[in-house]
Structure 1
Amino acid sequence: MCETPPRDPGVQPERTWLAWRRTTLTYAVSVGLAARVAVAEHSATAVAAAALGAVAWAALLLTAQRRRRGLAVRQPAPMDAVQVIGTLASVLVLIVVGGMLL
């Protein structure tokens, strides 16, 4: 029988956590800029774009928190399909928000 050696994570979980943190912070800044445009323009499209971006940011933040908690175990599992699709959808929503504000 081949036994799996104990995991020595080093700083990999911390690097991953910092990467998720940078991503959510960048996303928050983007949504903040969308909100600024919505306030300045007073258009329904801009307000809808900012609201859509805020909801997508919250979903990304939730995914990041789940992933961070998942890395705390000795042998973390890879991201499941729901998390991957949710993250992809959130990023695509940000692209759509940017397009709506152009």
Structure 2
Amino acid sequence: MAALGRNGGAEAGGQAERTRLSWRRTTLAFALTLGLAVRGLVMADSGVLVGGLAVACGGLLWAGFLVLAQRRIVALSRTGGHGVSASTVLVAAGAVGLLAVAAGVLAVVTLG
């Protein structure tokens, strides 16, 4: 439930703060997924080269996503949380999709 301001409306800064926190949670979840991929690669007996490349690509994607999230957090503090550009959404979705592809490659390498 939203906190109410003086005039009975929703608190102005609440939405921007929730959005900022969600970007940070998503970045943390991304890092955790990458960490689990590294753990799976270490535990695997074969396909270390291909798996290593998949993890390296995932690491680059995470770094790019981290920069994107930080830029969005800074933009939220400047604009007060008004809208998000379509390019930001597409880049974030693309990074998550490419991480899923890298995870699929890693799964095939470690299990197959």
Tell me the TM-score range normalised by the shorter chain. Answer: 0.7 to 0.9
| Structure 1 residue ranges (4+ consecutive) displaced by more than 6 angstroms after TM superposition | none
Share of identical aligned residues, percent? 38
Q: How does 1:1-102 map to 2 (within 5 A)?
A: 9-41=12-44, 43-102=48-107
Please, which runs of 5 or more residues in structure 2 have no aligned partner?
A: 1-10, 108-112
CA deviation profile, 1:59-92 (whole Å, cap 9, x unmatched): 1111110110111124555322332221111011
> How many equivalent residue pairs?
95
1:49 and 1:101 in contact (8 A); partners too: yes
TM normalised by structure 2 equals 0.75
Indicate the RMSD between aligned Cα atoms, in angstroms.
1.7
1:59 and 1:86 in contact (8 A); partners too: no
Q: Which amino acid aligns with 2:95?
A: S
2:21 is paired with a residue whose SS is helix
